[in-house]
Amino acid sequence: MSELVFFSGTMDCGKSTLALQMGHNRSARGLQGVIFTRDDRAGAGKLSSRLGLVTDAVEAAPDMDLYAHLIGEMSKGGKVDYVIVDEAQFLHPEQIDQLARVVDDLGLDVFAFGITTDFRTRLFPGSQRLIELADRIEALQVEAMCWCGARATHNARTVGGEMVVEGEQVVVGDVDQHEGDVGYEVLCRRHHQRRVTSATARADVLSPDVLPVDPA
């Protein structure tokens, strides 16, 4: 029985690595799949992992009909046994509906990988629709860690190490940033709510509060 499965987790928990592994395991058994991605850190038409692995993929443009694309591939004689979608949170809800149709009408398994919430702790529209439609939701078992050592549950956007809470929902960046760049960091809820990133925590250690001086 084919399924639409949503593998979710924070940034830096191995989603893209698992997507690459699933594709490798199936290709090793002679199966052929189509990989969709959107706004990957390695550039358009790529699925990459922070471990350095990368493979070619189909860039799922905002106006692309994913169901029609697969029908087109199959009508030209292409073999499609499964579908992998990375960065699924960036897809439009209508594209998630198209993936559900791939499962129901074409009988293909669809494995979607993505984060659920943005830097403001709001659901991405694509992730929300996946939660509504998926046959199964799997939380990634590799837990990302906050700088304090606790389990990271929230994604934070940073600029020069400082956490920001306003701006466009989608701004491409990574957990590896240069000073002044837009980047991302995973935090526990406590430090996300307090807006304490690893950089600001280090600054607090290096610059402790000055003790009050008694004028007498």
- Give the pLDDT of residue 203: 72
The answer to whether the beta carbons of residues 96 and 133 sit under 8 Å apart is yes
pTM above 0.75, yes or no: yes
- Give the pLDDT of residue 197: 93
The pLDDT tens digits of the residues spanning 173-195 come to: 555 554 557 888 999 999 999 99
Confidence of residue 204 (pLDDT cuts 50, 70, 90): low
C-beta neighbour count of 147 within 10 angstroms: 18
For range 79-107, the mean pLDDT: 97
Confidence of residue 211 (pLDDT cuts 50, 70, 90): very low
The pLDDT tens digits of the residues spanning 33-59 come to: 999 999 888 788 888 887 788 899 999
C-beta neighbour count of 159 within 10 angstroms: 16
Asked if the model's pLDDT at residue 69 lies above 80, the reply is yes
**CA-to-CA distance for 132 and 152, rounded, in angstroms?**
24
Asked if the model's pLDDT at residue 214 lies above 80, the reply is no
- Give the pLDDT of residue 51: 78
pLDDT: is 121 or 170 the higher one? 121
The pLDDT tens digits of the residues spanning 107-166 come to: 999 999 999 998 889 999 999 999 999 999 998 867 788 999 998 889 899 988 888 888
- Give the pLDDT of residue 174: 53
For range 70-95, the mean pLDDT: 96
- Give the pLDDT of residue 146: 92
DSSP string, 66-100: HHHHHHHHHHTT----EEEESSGGGS-HHHHHHHH
The answer to whether the beta carbons of residues 153 and 189 sit under 8 Å apart is yes
Bridge partners for 36 per DSSP: 58, 85
C-beta neighbour count of 74 within 10 angstroms: 14
Catalytic hit among 87, 138, 143, 168:
87
- Give the pLDDT of residue 170: 72
Asked if the model's pLDDT at residue 73 lies above 90, the reply is yes
Catalytic residue list contains 87: yes
- Give the pLDDT of residue 215: 53
Confidence of residue 3 (pLDDT cuts 50, 70, 90): very high
- Give the pLDDT of residue 153: 85
DSSP alpha helix (H) spans, the chain:
15-28, 66-75, 93-106, 125-133, 189-194, 198-206
**CA-to-CA distance for 188 and 147, rounded, in angstroms?**
8
